[in-house]
Structure formats: C-alpha cells, structure tokens
Amino acid sequence: MTTQFWEKSIEFNATLTNLLFKPVLIHQGWWLLRKRLLPLLCLISFFAVLQLNSFAPAVAQLPPQPRQEIRGVWLSNNDFSVFRNRSQVLAAMSQLRQLNFNTVYPVVWNDGYTQYPSAITQKMGIPFFFKGIDGQDVIADIITQARKQGLLAIPWFEFGFMVPLTSELASKHPDWLTQKQDGTQTSISAAGEVAWLNPFHPEVQKFISELVMEVITQYDADGVQFDDHMSLPVDFGYDKYTISLYTQETGNPPPPNPQAQAWIKWRADKITAFMVDLHQTVKARKPNAIFSVSPNYYDFAYKLQLQDWLNWVRLGIVDELVMQVYRNDLESFIAQITRPEILETQQIIPTGIGIMAGLRNRPVAMPQIQSQVEAAQQRGLGIGFFYYESLWNIAPEPAAQRQSAFAALFPNPALRDISQNTPRKPTFNTISLPLYPKPSLGQRVRGYFLEVTIAGGQPRRVLVDTGSAGLRVPKEFLGNAPIRRTGQNIKEVLSDGTILEGELVYTNIRFGLLPAAEPVPVQIVNSRQCTAQKPNCSAKSGVPFSGIVGVNYFEKSLLYNPLRKLPGNLSNGFIVIGNGGSNKNGSLVLGLTADNQAGFKMASWSQQPEINSVPGKIWDSRLGKVCLTIAGSSAKNSCNGRMIIDTATINGLNEFKSASTAGKLKPGVLRSANAVKVAINGIFDYSLTPGTRDGFNRWNLSISPQAELPIFVNPGIAFFDKYDVLFDQINGRQGFRSRR
C-alpha cells in the first residue's frame, strides 16, 4: 500500500498487472487502455495461478484451528490531518472499539521519513516533520489511546525498501540504492517515481533493523507490520554490490534476464534470510510481538516482487497475514481469497484480507464493502481496511449510515491478546538444503558444504562432517548478534591429526534459511595445530579454516550435533544425497518422513550412556558386522569390522590393530591390485579399485597397535557417490539407498 501520492497521475509501464490491484488515479486514456487489456491480463493471471504448486515443499498437514480474528484498519499519511489532534485520536479509537474493531496499523515509515521522532534518522541528518498540533508524538498518542480502548497497535513500515530518489536518505547514501540492468534507479509505483534501497546490502539491512527495533523498544509496540514494499521489483539488483555478491557466491554474473528462475530465487532467498534475522531480533526483544505481513497475492509477490511470503509463513516467522485484495468485482475478489496459499496460511496463523474502503478521489460504496467482508467472513478470514478516513469521513454515504453498516458487519467483540502469540515452529515436515561443492574459505579437493549464518553474520559455507559432532568456526564467521560466552576453552582432535582449540559459546544460527529453535553451542576456533603422531595434518598446509558442522550422533561432549536444535520434525534425522563427484550441488534433507525413507535399507546403531546436559538419545554410530575384503591382505570377507560413514574424509581408509591382518601389505596408499570391498549383509555392497584420485578412489591403510578396534573402516566421501545415506537419531539407525 502507498498513501503519499494517491492523487498523482502515474506513468503506465511494464508492471501494469500490479496496477490492477493498486488503487491509483490514471489519466482517462490510460484507463481505456487498461480496460482493453484487462481480458489478456486476467488470462495471464489465470495461467500464473496454475503454477502455484510448483514451488510448494512438503509441509505439515494441520487440522483447522480457531484463530484470533483480525478486524483492523490502516492509519495512513492521509489520516494524519485527523490524528495530529489528540481529541480526535481519542474519539477515533473509542469509535473503532465501539464498532468492534480490534487492531490499528499506524504508519511509521513512509516516503523516506519516520512518522515518529527517531534518534537514528536524526543522527543521519534527516528531518522530522510529523508532530501533533500540540507538538506531541503522534505515534505515541495513537498507541496509548488504542491500548486504553483494548485495541492492538501494530506500527506499519509502509515503504519497506522503497524510497523517493529525491529524499535525504537517497541523497546521503547513493551507494544504498540498487538499479536495473540499464542503470535506471527508479520505477513507477502507486507512490509515483521511486527508488529502491538495496535489500542485500548489510548497511541497508542494519538501517531497517534499527528502525524496527527503535519502534518496538520506544513504544513497546504490540508488533510490527511490513507490506508489499518489503521486497524488490524483479528488474532490480544489477548494482555493483549485488553483482559482486552474486558472482562471488555462484561463480557467474547475474543473468541478463531478470526473471531467470535461479536469479529470482537467489534474490528472494536473500530477502527471506533478512526477514528471518529481523524476526529473531524482534522476538529477542519482545517474544510475543506480532510479526505481521501484508503482501500481494503470492504468485505476483514472488515472481515480480521477489517476496517469498509463503515461505516466510512456513518458516514460522509470520504471526499474522493480511493479503491485499483491492478489487471491485466480487467474483474476482473471491477468486483471490480462496487461493491455495491463503487456505494453507489460515490453518496456521490469523489471516485476513485487505479491503479497499475508499480513496479521496475514488470512494467505495458500502454495498461493495459489505459483500467483500461477508465473503471473507464466510471463509473464516479476518479483515484489514485501507484506510481509516475512508471508513466514513470521506465516503459516498453519510457517516452515521456507514458506521451503522460496520456495526452490523461486526456485531460482537473479538478482542485480541498478544500474550497468546507464542513462538511458532516451521510447518515443514521435511526440507532440502543445498550442499555446495566448495567452501567460503580455502580450497578442498572434494567436500559438501552447508550454508550457515552464525550470530547474524554473513552466510558461510562450512564443511558438513558426518563423522564428528559440533559446530566449529573461525571467529570472523560471527556477526554482531548477541552470543553467550562460557569461558570454557575446549579442544577437538580431528581424524587427520588436526587439533582445534577455542572457546565454547552459544548463539543463534541459521542453516540456509532455516533458523535453529534456540541458541546453538559453537566452538570459536582460535588455534589449529597438528598432533605429534600426525605432523602433516591439514593445519600444516596454511589453508584458511573453512569451519566444520559435525552432524554425527556419536557425541562425546557438550558440543553436540547442532541439528538437534532444529524445530519440530526437522530435528529427527537427515539424509545426505551426494553429487556423484560433479560440480553440482548435493542435498541435505532435514526431517525424516515415511515418504523420504522409502527405498533405504537400515542398519542399527548401539546406544551410548547418556551425556550430561545433552537431550535425546546418544548413539555409537560406528556400524558393526562390517565385512571387509582387501586383495593381497589377510582381510578376506572378515565381518568383524566397524565402520563410520564420513563426508569429511576425502580418501577411504582402513585401520588395523594388528599387522597380521594386513598380511604382506604395508601402511600407505593402496594400489590398483588391492581391490577393496566393504559390505553389510543385506544392506549395501561397496567396492572400488584403489587409484590416485583424491576423493574418488584413493584408499589408505594404517596399522596401529594402539587402535581401539581390530578393524576400522572409513570409506570416505566417494561412498556418497553411490549411496544416499540416512541418519535416524530417534530410532538409532543408518539407512543406505543405492544411487546406481
């Protein structure tokens, strides 16, 4: 929604479809053209709807549950002539309460300015204009009077990332703006010609986050709302910063087609990641604050505005949704409010429909409002009216008649209580995250790297290690979000002899876009060295440490598998799907379901004694009864071996406790004559001919009388070229599914 320039004529442009749903005054010639194009545009919209299910992941099927009904109204810039007067604020809030409204959304960020006295913008030299007639803080007055009447007051950041090019903010920070491929910095919107702050730029993100937290803190607001401008038009993102970031992360420059699917997804995911972090920041300050979103319908929002709000709902970061549906035709209105994304969302959170109550130059008759409200109510949906003054002050019917009609629409109170707004878990039963072939730092011959964001820092690709437990990263991976220090220095010795030392801390993290349900233990590595027994470990190479996320359930200390901290069903186990040795991404499938376990053959783990303070069952995930054959050795289908499946080990390896098991073979790299076969009867049968290619067929042999086990096998990362591997932490099982 945009209120500053409703009465200003706008240029007809390529985003014509958006204008069908945004009330603006258009010159008569353009209006006739739009009428002629309407059938074509409706046909385009119809086919877009057919694509809706193409993006939907597996989500939990939740039974319908009662939700607090939204009966809200936006208090826009157009209303400030009313709300600058304290007595009129009191009268307005009292009238809304008498008519059984329950929520007001006062605008606090519009046209590049805050509508409240902001210390943040004052430091930037941006003027403040919106005092009341007595010099009072209008927003404070609205929130105070709303609460006295039992109404929720949820400040509304109307402009989001949108800003006029002529504003002080844009002039002071031109590097914060993004642009189209041809260098154009503006687009035509219902607010006229506007520029766009770059949502991928860390300074822009910091600025918006600080404004949000200022409002939440300064007014102890009941929540915060973002509408369709917490987004970016699809044509934007070709500024130097974004091009560099995309190229760094993908290895290629952005495609020239702004609607290329991968380019859309990358930008939409970046906005989603910011919203996830912003949600965590808000909830850390006020856990029961309502995080509200008021977007356009999903297909339009995602494809043309990079606003993946349905994913926000599924990730559990949206507490209420009010979808804007500004239509005159009732049939078209009903088609929008019965879309699949609305049906899904209303099973999860309070869901409402934004209805146009009228504009100064385009009043809406009460019969249209009544029919739309009734259609929404019949489908269990709440209502948000745009905007306050058009409810009855600037309407085609007398004020008393309009108020009487609203009273009939809401005959009974429906008070809302934010104490009931408890944190939600994502509604995903399962979700797949990409495993990248290269890390953020250093180089590695082969590996699977998961994008992890730690303490609000930049996303970093860290090595997924199915052979160890715990998240270990260098200090530069941390952002500025709060961490809880323990002062406990811990040491971890890796299988290659690398010793990692550093402090144990707790902080918030994200796996891809998915936030952990609570702070996760992290080792901040400040020292790496080699053991005396293995002086040529990875620490000797001088390659920067790219971090390790150990996801094995064979935990030996408090620094346990961080996947245990995932919310809901997503914490019950995972599946690693390799990339076959290619440069393509693999997958980490989080959350085991009956469907994604199909085709796996299971082998059991043995249970370990409980470790203090570590919830859940602890497993010895070294598989037993492993049959090993190495040509030229005494290991001839010996089935008394133990084995671990390890993504972090590049080369396959065997460790024998006794030299007699090796026979004539000497420690070192096996040759092609020493064919290797590893099997568990009825589960898998893996074989290879040793060679010299790291991560593909190289296999090492060691003999150590100090070894804990007679025969220990680690087939290395090449095993994942032939098998998908499942880790079931609930039932203590490991599954194998052939990829041949």
The predicted structure's pLDDT at residue 26: 30
What was the pLDDT predicted at 66?
Answer: 55
pLDDT beyond 60 at 425: yes
* Higher pLDDT, residue 300 or 45: 300
Q: What's the confidence (pLDDT) of residue 700?
A: 94
Can you tell me the mean pLDDT for 650-663?
92
What is the rounded average pLDDT for all residues in the chain? Answer: 89
Q: Is the pLDDT of residue 36 over 50?
A: no
* Residue 22, pLDDT score: 36
CATH of domain 431-598: 2.40.70.10
Task: Say yes or no: do domains 16-44+65-420 and 431-598 share a fold.
Answer: no
Residue 279 has pLDDT above 70, yes or no: yes
Distance CA 625, CA 109 (A): 65
Q: Which residues is 186 bridged to in the sheet?
A: 195
Asked if residue 49 has pLDDT above 80, the reply is no
Name the band, by pLDDT with cuts 50, 70 and 90, for residue 559. Answer: confident
Instruction: Examine the pLDDT at 543 and tell me if it is beyond 90.
Output: no
Per-residue pLDDT, 191? 80
Whole-number Å distance between alpha carbons of 556 and 611: 8
Tokens of 542: 């001088």
Residue 441 — pLDDT band, cuts 50, 70, 90? Answer: confident
pLDDT given for residue 41 in this prediction:
40
Average pLDDT over residues 689-698: 92
Helix (H) or strand (E) holding 275: helix 261-285
660: pLDDT strictly greater than 80:
yes
Nearest to 714 by CA among 658, 651, 667: 651
Helix, strand or coil, per DSSP, at residue 271? helix
Q: 63 pLDDT exceeds 60?
A: no
pLDDT in tens, 299-330: 999 999 999 999 999 999 999 999 999 999 99
Position 32 scores a pLDDT of: 33
Residue from 71, 70, 96 nearest 83 by CA:
96
Compute the distance between CA of residue 372 and CA of residue 361 in angstroms, rounded to an integer: 21
Query: In 3D, which of 300, 243, 246 has the Cα closest to residue 48?
Result: 300
End-to-end CA distance of the chain: 53
Q: How confident is the model at residue 555 (pLDDT cuts 50, 70, 90)?
A: confident
For position 232, what pLDDT does the model report? 98
Inform me whether the pLDDT recorded for 613 exceeds 80. no
Average the pLDDT over 473-488 and give the result. 93
The hierarchical CATH code for the domain 16-44+65-420 is: 3.20.20.80
% of the chain exceeding 70 in pLDDT: 91
The CA distance from 483 to 480, in Å, is: 9
Q: Where are the domains of the chain?
A: 16-44+65-420, 431-598, 620-738
The pLDDT of residue 521 is above 60: yes
Q: How far, in Å, CA of 99 to CA of 88, rounded?
A: 16
pLDDT tens string 129-146: 899 999 999 999 999 999
pLDDT in tens, 359-415: 988 999 999 999 999 999 999 999 999 999 999 999 999 999 999 999 999 999 999
Q: Cβ of 580: how many Cβ atoms within 10 Å?
A: 11
90-94 LR contacts (CB < 8 Å, sep 24+): 90/145, 92/145, 92/388, 93/142, 93/145, 93/146, 93/148, 93/149, 93/151, 94/149
Of 616, 713, 586, the residue nearest 656 (C-alpha): 713
Lowest mean pLDDT among 56-65, 149-158, 242-251: 56-65
620-738: CATH superfamily: Acid Proteases (2.40.70.10)
The tokens describing 583, both together, are 């440069």
The pTM of this model reads 0.85
On whether the CB atoms of residues 678 and 643 are closer than 8 A, the answer is: yes
Nearest to 104 by CA among 83, 135, 131, 133: 83
pLDDT value at 270 more than 70: yes
| The pLDDT of residue 1 | 61
Per-residue confidence (pLDDT) for residue 50, from 0 to 100: 36
Q: Is 70 exceeded by the pLDDT of residue 598?
A: yes
Question: Residues 121, 145: contact at Cβ < 8 Å?
Answer: no
pLDDT of 27 reads 33
* pLDDT tier for residue 58 given thresholds of 50, 70 and 90: low
**How far is Cα of residue 497 from the mean position of the Cα atoms in its chain?**
36
614: pLDDT strictly greater than 90 = no
Q: How confident is the model at residue 462 (pLDDT cuts 50, 70, 90)?
A: very high
pLDDT exceeds cutoff 60 at 461: yes
Region 274-282: what's the mean pLDDT? Answer: 94
